[in-house]
Amino acid sequence: MTDRYCVFGNPIKHSKSPQIHAEFAHQTQQALEYTAEEAPLDGFAGAWRAFVDAGGRGANVTVPFKSDAFALCDTLSHRARRAEAVNTLIVGGNGRTYGDTTDGIGLVRDLAYHRVGVAGKRILVVGAGGAVRGILEPLLAEQPSEVVVVNRTAAKAEQLAHDFADLGAISGGGFDTLSGQFDIVINGTSASLSGDLPPLPDGLFAPHAWAYDMMYGAEPTVFLHWAGPRGAKLLDGLGMLVEQAAESFFLWRNVRPETAPVREMLRQSLNYL
């Protein structure tokens, strides 16, 4: 019997998740079907229930439904409770819904794949939305010297820093509070999708620093365009996408796929970094 999985989003036609999971399934010889499902903006819970009633075993969840997924779960992982968001749903043997988030693991594993060390490094995270909340626990677990969160609305960054202060050295504020240089600068805003650049100062990057945009596209993002001439080495979020998908696949199937060939396949389709 072929088990059914999907990714929920709105819009969702652009998603590369079906392609990624088809490769994982072929690689690991798992009998599964993975589709992209566009849920109504006000009807995510109903779409999930209908999918389960039709035999669905699990799903990924992307924008704008990660908070909706969090709300409907019967059981949550520790990291999902921290993130207050879910990107991976699993139907348990008792029919109950278990929720987890793999976004932060995806980021940390992507950095490791590119041999970008986090321990002891000073890290700037731009943005204070759900995407950033999902990466802070795994990032702090790598023991950076400091994580600084900045946001246009300073209070949101300050609140995030307060919420995660028990896990390590973290502070938050507005862009006007930025000082010093950083070893890794992570753009966790959706500004790249609209071609906007956060108001970041020059002189932000330490020698040999990395600029990481959690977004990706057919061209370098506006953030990466800005960071390159200022001396940073560049990474986009394509590897994070593959790594978070691999963790979801492992949670569903208890087998861990190889990510390198899937990364290469997707990178060739974009072919700019």
Q: Which residues are catalytic?
A: 66
Integer Cα distance of 59 and 92 in angstroms = 12
Count how many Cα atoms sit within 13 Å of the Cα of residue 95 in the half-sphere of its side chain. 5
User: Which run of H or of E encompasses 171?
Assistant: strand 170-173
Integer Cα distance of 54 and 4 in angstroms = 9
- Pairing, β 75-76 against β 170-173: unpaired
Feature table: binding site for NADP(+)? 127-131, 151-156, 214, 237
Phi, psi (5° rounding) for residue 212?
-125, 120
Integer Cα distance of 85 and 244 in angstroms = 14
Feature table: binding site? 15-17, 62, 87, 103, 127-131, 151-156, 214, 216, 237, 244
**Contact in structure between 183 and 210 (CB atoms under 8 Å):** yes
Residue 247, both tokens = 């963790």
**Contact in structure between 23 and 75 (CB atoms under 8 Å):** no
Feature table: binding site for shikimate? 15-17, 62, 87, 103, 216, 244
Beta strands in the chain (DSSP E): 3-9, 32-38, 56-61, 75-76, 88-91, 97-100, 122-126, 146-150, 170-173, 182-187, 205-213, 233-235
Q: How far is CA 216 from the centre of its chain?
A: 11
- Pairing, β 97-100 against β 146-150: unpaired
